[in-house]
Structure 1
Amino acid sequence: MRISLNWLTELVDSQLTPTDLADALTMAGFEVEDIEDRRAWADGVIVGRVIACDPHPDADKLSVCQVDTGAEAPVSIVCGATNVRAGVYVPVATVGTYLPVVDLTIKARKLRGVPSAGMICSLAELGLEKEAEGIHIFQQSELTVGEDARPWLGLDDVILELTSTANRADALSMVGIAREIAAIAQVPLRLPTPSSPSLDNGPQSLQIELPDAKACPIYIGTVLENLQVGPSPAWLQQRLQAAGTRPINNVVDITNYVLLEWGQPLHAFDRDRLQAVAAGTGLSLGVRYAKADESLQTLDGQMRSLSPDTLLITANDQPVALAGVMGGEATEVNQTTAAVMLEAAYFDAAAIRRSARSQGLRTEASARYERGVNPAELTLACNRALQLLQDLAGANPVSQTIGRTASGDIVPSRTLELRLDRVHQILGPVTNITPGAACPLPEQQIQQILARLGCQVGPTEQDRVWTVTVPAYRYRDLEREIDLIEEVARLYGYNHFADTLPQEASGGGLSAEAVLAQSLRAALRAAGLTELMHYSLTKPESPQQVLLANPLFAEYSALRPNLIDGLIDAFQFNLEQGNGPLNGFEIGRVFWRDDTQVREAQQVSGIIGGDPRQGRWTTGGREQPLSWYEAKGLLESVFQRLDLQVDYRRDHQDSRLHPGRTASLWVRGQQRLGTFGQLHPQLRQRRELPASVYVFQLDWQLLVTCLATERRQARTFKPYSAFPASDRDIAFFAPVEVPVADLQRLMSKTGGPLLESVTLFDEYRGENVPAGQRSLAFRLVYRALDRTLTEDDIEPIHQNVRDVLEQQFQVSLRS
Structure 2
Amino acid sequence: MLISLNWLRELVEVTLPPEQLATVLTIAGFEVENIEDRRSQADGVVVGRVLECERHPNADKLSVCQVDLGGENPSTIVCGASNVKGGIFVAVAPPKTYLPAIDLKIKSAKLRGVKSEGMICSLAELGLEKNSEGIHIFDNAELTPGQDVRPLLGLDDVILDLTSTANRADALSMVGVAREVSALTGAPVRMPEAPQTNIPVKKELKVQGVNEGACPTYIGTMVEGLQIAPSPDWLKFRLQGAGVRPINNVVDVTNYILLEWGQPLHAFDREKLQKLAGGKSLSIGVRFAQPEESLQTLDGQTRKLTEQNVLIVANDKPVALAGVMGGEETEVDGETQNIVLEAALFDPVAIRRSSRAQGLRTEASARYERGVNQAELDWACRRAIALLSELANGTPTAQGIADARPPQKDWTRSIPLRLTRIRQILGQVQRGEGVGELEAAEVEKILVALGCQLNSTKPSPNLEWTVEVPPYRARDLEREIDLIEEVARLYGYDRFCDTLPSKSEPGSLPLNRQLINRIRAAFRGVGLTEVVLYSLVKPEMAQIEIANPLLSEYSALRPELLPGLIDAFAYNWTQGNGALNAFEIGRIFHKKDKFTEMDAIAGIFGGDRASQGRWVTGGKGEPLAWYEAKGLLEAVFESLGITVEYRPDKGDARLHPGRTAALWLEGKRLGTFGQLHPQLRRDRDFPNAVYAFNLSADLLLDVLAQQAKIIFSPYSTYPALERDLAFFAPVEVTVGEFTRAIQKVGQPLLATIELFDRYQGQNVPEGQRSLAFSLSYRTRDRTLTDEEVEPVHQKIRSALIEQFQVTLRS
CA apart distance, 1:21: 1.7
In the alignment, the residues of structure 2 paired with residue 653 and residue 342 of structure 1 have an alpha-carbon distance, to the nearest angstrom, of 69
The CA deviation at 1:648 is 2.7
Say yes or no: does 1:694 pair with 2:691. Answer: yes
TM-superposed deviation, 1:562: 4.2
How far apart, in 2, do the equivalents of 1:73 and 1:780 lie? Answer: 111
Residue in 2 that maps onto 1:675 = 672
Residues 587, 602 of structure 1: 8 Å contact kept: no
The 3-state SS of whatever aligns with 2:436 is coil
1:410-425 matches, cutoff 5 A:
412-425=411-424
Partner of 2:601: 604
Tell me if the contact between 2:53 and 2:86 (Cα under 8 Å) persists in the aligned partners. Answer: no
Farther-moved stretch of structure 1 (333-342 vs 299-308):
299-308
Q: How many angstroms does 1:726 deviate by? A: 7.3
User: What letter is aligned with 1:333?
Assistant: V
**Contact residue 606 and residue 624 of structure 2 kept, 8 A:** yes
8 Å CA contact retained: 2:89, 2:141: no
Q: Residues of 2 paired with 1:559 and 1:580: CA distance?
A: 29
Alignment match, 1:8: 8
**Partners in 1 of 2:567 and 2:145 — Cα distance?**
76
Letter in 2 for 1:701: D
Of stretches 174-183 and 711-720 in structure 1, the one that deviates more from structure 2 is: 711-720
Q: 2:714 aligns with which of 710, 719, 742?
A: 719
Deviation at 1:227, TM superposition (A): 1.7
The residue that corresponds to 1:496 in the other structure is: 495
Using the alignment, how far apart are the partners of 1:325 and 1:456 within structure 2? 35
Give SS of 1:277's match: helix
What is the aligned counterpart of 1:442 among 414, 439, 443?
A: 439
SS at match of 1:345: strand
Instruction: Give matches, 1:365-514, under 5 Å.
Output: 365-405=364-404, 412-431=411-430, 433=431, 435-460=432-457, 463-499=462-498, 506-514=505-513
Give the 5 Å matches for 1:246-325: 246-280=245-279, 282-325=281-324
Equivalent positions of 1:532-547 (< 5 A) are 532-533=530-531, 535-536=533-534, 540=538, 542-544=540-542
Distance change in 2, residues 1:200/1:71 (3 Å): farther
C-alpha distance in 1, partners of 2:577/2:156? Answer: 65
| 1:157-168 alignment runs, 5 A limit | 157-168=157-168
Pair 1:15–1:572, CA change in 2 (3 A): closer
**Contact kept? 1:278, 1:315, Cα under 8 Å:** yes
How much does 1:452 deviate? 1.0
Change in Cα spacing, 1:23 to 1:700, as seen in structure 2 (3 Å) is same
User: What letter corresponds to residue 31 of structure 1 in structure 2?
Assistant: E
The secondary structure found in structure 2 opposite 1:284 is: strand
Contact 2:601 2:695 in 1 (8 A): yes
2:133 alignment counterpart: 133
The alignment-based identity, stated in percent, is: 55
Distance (whole Å) between structure 2 residues aligned to residue 288 and residue 42 of structure 1: 50
Contact 2:53 2:84 in 1 (8 A): no
The one of 582, 585, 588 equivalent to 2:582 is: 585
Deviations 1:563-601 (A, max 9, x none): 43454456567767888766x231243555748998765
The alignment status of 1:172 with 2:172, answered yes or no, reads yes
**Alignment partners' CA distance in 2, 1:770 and 1:113:** 108
1:628 to 616, 626, 629: 626
Q: Is the 8 A contact 1:274 1:315 kept in 2?
A: yes
3-state SS of paired residue (1:333): coil
SS in 1 for 2:397: strand
The separation in 1 between residues aligned to 2:632 and 2:381, in whole angstroms, is 74
CA contact under 8 A between 1:290 and 1:312: conserved in structure 2? Answer: yes
| Residues 800/276 of structure 1: CA separation in 2 closer, same or farther (3 Å cut) | same
Give 1:355's aligned residue.
354
Aligned position for 1:530:
528
Bigger shift: 421-430 or 776-785? 776-785
Residue segments in structure 1 that go unaligned for 5+ positions in a row: none
- Counterpart CA distance in 1 for 2:456 and 2:582 is 63
Assess if the C-alpha contact under 8 Å between 2:745 and 2:799 holds in 1: no
2: distance between equivalents of 1:246 and 1:175? 21
In structure 2, distance between residues paired with 1:693 and 1:64: 78
Match of 1:657, as an amino acid? L
1:541 is displaced (CA, Å) by: 8.3
Find the aligned partners of 2:180 and 2:20 in 1 and give their Cα distance: 15
Pick closer, same or farther for the CA change 1:163–1:796 going to 2, 3 Å.
Answer: closer
Shift in Å, 1:184: 0.8
CA distance in 2, matches of 1:740, 1:22: 75
SS at match of 1:187: coil
Cα distance in 2, alignment partners of residues 149 and 684 from structure 1: 72
Q: TM-score, normalised by structure 1?
A: 0.84
3-state SS, counterpart of residue 403 of structure 1: strand
The equivalences for 1:223-234 within 5 A come to: 223-234=222-233
- Cα deviation for residue 176 of structure 1 reads 1.1
Instruction: Note the alpha carbon deviations across 1:12-37, whole angstroms, 9 max, x for none.
Output: 11222223222222222222233333
Output the amino acid matched with 2:24.
A
The answer (yes or no) to whether the contact 2:269–2:338 under 8 Å persists in 1 is yes
Q: Is the 8 A contact 2:200 2:399 kept in 1?
A: no
Task: Name the SS for the 2:350 alignment partner.
Answer: helix
Q: Is contact 1:646-1:667 (8 Å) kept?
A: yes
- The equivalences for 1:138-153 within 5 A come to 138-140=138-140, 147-153=147-153
CA 1:569–1:242 in 2, change beyond 3 Å: closer, same or farther?
closer
- The answer for the alignment partner of 1:243 in structure 2 is 242
SS at match of 1:132: coil
Contact 1:733 1:774 in 2 (8 A): yes
Aligned length: 802
**C-alpha distance in 1 between matches for 2:574 and 2:392:** 71
Partner of 1:639: 637
Deviates more, 1:275-284 or 1:794-803: 794-803
Question: 8 Å contact 1:564–1:606 — kept in the other structure?
Answer: yes
CA contact (8 A) 1:589 1:603 kept: yes
The residue type equivalent to 1:34 in the other structure is N
Query: Which stretch of structure 1 is more off in the superposition, 694-703 or 784-793?
Result: 784-793
| Helix, strand or coil at the partner of 1:542 | helix
Note the aligned Cα RMSD (angstroms). Answer: 4.4
**Matches of 2:41 and 2:767, distance apart in 1:** 96
CA distance in 2, matches of 1:267, 1:597: 49
TM superposition shift of 1:513: 3.2
Match of 1:208 in 2: 208
Q: 1:402 to 1:531 in 2, by over 3 A?
A: same
> What does the per-residue CA deviation read over 1:260-301, in whole Å, with 9 as the maximum and x for residues that have no partner?
101111111111111222234643333334344333222122
Aligned in 2, Cα 1:15/1:650: closer, same or farther, shift over 3 Å?
Answer: same
Please give the per-residue CA displacement for 1:325-371, whole angstroms capped at 9, x wherever unaligned. Answer: 22111110011112111111222333333333333333222222233
Tell me the residue number matched to 1:659.
Answer: 657
State the SS of the aligned residue for 2:441. helix
**Map 1:563-574 → 2, pairs under 5 A:** 563-568=561-566
Q: Is the 8 A contact 1:782 1:794 kept in 2?
A: no
Q: 1:709-745: CA deviations, max 9, x gaps?
A: 4x54412222234667678999999987776646655
- Report the CA distance shift for 1:786/1:413 in structure 2 as closer, same or farther (over 3 A): farther
The offset of 1:683, in angstroms, is: 1.9
Alignment partners' CA distance in 2, 1:207 and 1:75? 64
Q: Which SS does the other structure have where 2:435 is aligned?
A: coil
Measure, in 2, the Cα distance between the counterparts of 1:116 and 1:803: 110
Q: In structure 2, what residue type is equivalent to 1:3?
A: I
SS at match of 1:438: strand
Say if 1:302 and 1:725 are closer, same or farther in 2 by CA, change over 3 A. Answer: same
| Structure 2, unpaired ranges of 5+ | none
